[in-house]
Structure 1
Amino acid sequence: MIGIIGAGAFGGALAISLAAKGPVMLWGRGQTGRNIARLPGAELPALVTVAKDVAEVAQASTVLLALPAQAMGRFLADHAGLFQGQRLVACCKGVDLTTGLGPTGVIIAHCPGATAAILTGPSFASDIARGLPTALTLACADATAGEALQHQLSTEVLRLYRTTDVTGAEFGGAVKNVIAIAAGIVMGAQLGESARAALMTRGFAELTRLALHLGARSETLSGLSGFGDLVLTCTSDQSRNYRFGTALGAGAAFDPAMTVEGVATAAAVATLARKQGIDMPVTQMVAGLTQHKITLEDAIRALMSRPLKQE
């Protein structure tokens, strides 16, 4: 049996997809019925059991943590005793604001007896729930455990590629959300497709600078969890980070109840980059805008007036 913590869109979609292979136990705060609030029209299959409490799900040997990146640490702090021997798979993208750790680092900090992994890459929950073909990266430092998870979590329409480069998978997935906000800002401010293409390219360059500095491998960054996820998130209105950026660029309101992982990640990564001495102007711009420290006009002026250099 596979356990899933978090009955939001992604957790619900994974439950629907993985139930094609066998029993799934799903727990989410307030989740009692067979419908997923964030997936209109979707219904949980018969092989998905909606758990009454976290302890039920913790009985599974593999547990997917489909929680927002900034909430995962708090959840594990409250329930660490339940998850010391399992394989815990983070299904979120971000950098913890308090610790500067990626999702697997948060898992290890709270559950040192667990095997930590992360599932990431270009995907929308609605596509997975509908059974549309999707390819993701499964990153686990333990190669043997990673291979086992790859086989356990792959389905006929959900194809997983494995890697031991956890750092590359984590920071590719985290920073691309920040770049997606910036891409949305460009389009919301009506700066044009050419500007978005340039922003994506330079954003990917700074993502790569940081991740390589932290020990990532270049092939991971050019794969699904890096470049692949960046392309999807920076070009589709299904992306919450992109839509948030579009609203920000247009000066429009955005639903405050919607989780936008890239906002907190921008702040966390901007701080990390400064400490590491890594130049990340796009990330710094997004952090400044989302924290209301600079105006859109200031941000555009700062990016366009940077010293000319070789690519």
Structure 2
Amino acid sequence: MSENLEYPGPLQGGNRLHLQADCENCFGLCCAALPFAASVDFAIDKDAGQPCPNLQSDFRCGVHKNLRQLGFRGCTVYDCFGAGQKVSQVTYRGRDWRQAPESAQQMFEVLPIMRHLHELLWYLTEALTLQPARSIRGELSSALGETERLTHLSPDSLLELNVAAHRADVNALLLQTSELVRTEARRQQKNPPKRQKAYGRGADLIGAKLRGADLRAANLRGAYLIAADLREADLRAADLIGADFRDADLRGANLTGSIFLTQAQLNAAKGDPNTKLPPLLTHPAHW
């Protein structure tokens, strides 16, 4: 492991608690709207719009405590970024799809759109806390405000929204943020690696042997880290947006200061109490 470093701290703000799932205020939307196929992640097939047989009348999961044991690992990985309660309580004003079955299909189609927007809110809110990105804080704030505005559109307007175009605009700002943060982190490294491999977006690192690797400030955007050995790896200030951590071994890894990491990515990985995480993210129960 590398020496302890103090990467640039956060700016004021950055509250992302409302971007965490609140199942108590959701109508079990992910359990009804989303499809899944029998696999290592799901014990059964389920079509989109078909409520899961484990969904109870109060919109709670009847087997929540035993999902992994019963073959529903995929459910423990999914994270809606708070989109479920937003659609339930704001977009549809607390009227659920059982009370108003005529709105069920539309509600189910709105959920993934809202999730995309809430995921962008998660990244933008984080970007605004990063000191090296202060030079573009105005642009980030504007993008955050516009994205939040879009989440309050009517169901019909949400369905007509070009989410891909908006995501591309936001991603350009997130790329700038990443470059600023990683450049500053490299500048502050007291003992930078002499040769750090440039992985780049979408790098194929499936099953890679990276135990103890110095990956500080690495660009791992969209990297395929499925079943990679990242035990005791140093991932501080690494850009992890969209990285696939399914079954990656993060035991003892240091992810403090990494950027654009999500709870869903951690839920898909393996780790232990020695895995160091950024604020707001937690060690999954199955670790």
Q: TM-score, normalised by structure 2?
A: 0.27
Q: Quick check: which one's strand share is greater?
A: 1
Q: Quick check: which one's helix share is greater?
A: 1
